[in-house]
Structure 1
Amino acid sequence: MKPREVVEEWVRRFNMCDAVAVAELYREDAVHLPAKQRSIAGRSAIQKMFEQDFAVAGTTCIPELIYEIGMSAVLEWRDPIGRRGCGAFAVRDSRIAFAYWDELASVRVAESST
């Protein structure tokens, strides 16, 4: 899969709140870096992170734009209640090798609208 296709599939699986399916899109040695948080290394640790996140939050990711740049893709997203953010994904061999997810962008937008 091309990076854009991987991200589109990531969004589909994320919106199903299926941590196992989301983690399958990552390489075994992948790194996921949520903004202002400690990086998560390895597919099993990434799966655990998503399991914990899905148990607490029911965020829906609605893609606004997906940019494909070489072997990377950038996702601009929103959710149904108006939060916004972005993610950057580096893809190797049709799997996510590195992901950066700016969840704090959604917090700043939500705070500014209240």
Structure 2
Amino acid sequence: MPKELYEEVKSDISEHVGVYAEGSYSIKKAKKVELGVDEQILKDSMIRSLARDVEKLFRSENQSYVDRMNHRIRELEKDRDNWRDKYQRLMNIGYEKYGSGWYRE
């Protein structure tokens, strides 16, 4: 938020909430607090919320957005496959050099 706005509203911001100013620097550091709900419940709620938002976007028939997301998915799949191939090559090198089970030692 703009620093001027922060000065106006800082008394309304909870003590544990952090604030970033325009330009991505911290005006006020966040403080760690214990979760008020079970961590798994919070994760599940976030996943449901994100899934709902994605569904809304797909139903909006914004073809440009859908195309961008499909393109991004393909890029990530390529990255995943490249990393998997690199991992497999390294494992093969270890196997050839040290024999089976070398990575467990």
Find the structure with the greater CA-based Rg: 2
Q: Report the TM-score, using the length of structure 1 for normalisation.
A: 0.20
Q: Report the TM-score, using the length of structure 2 for normalisation.
A: 0.21
Larger strand percent: 1
Larger helix percent: 2
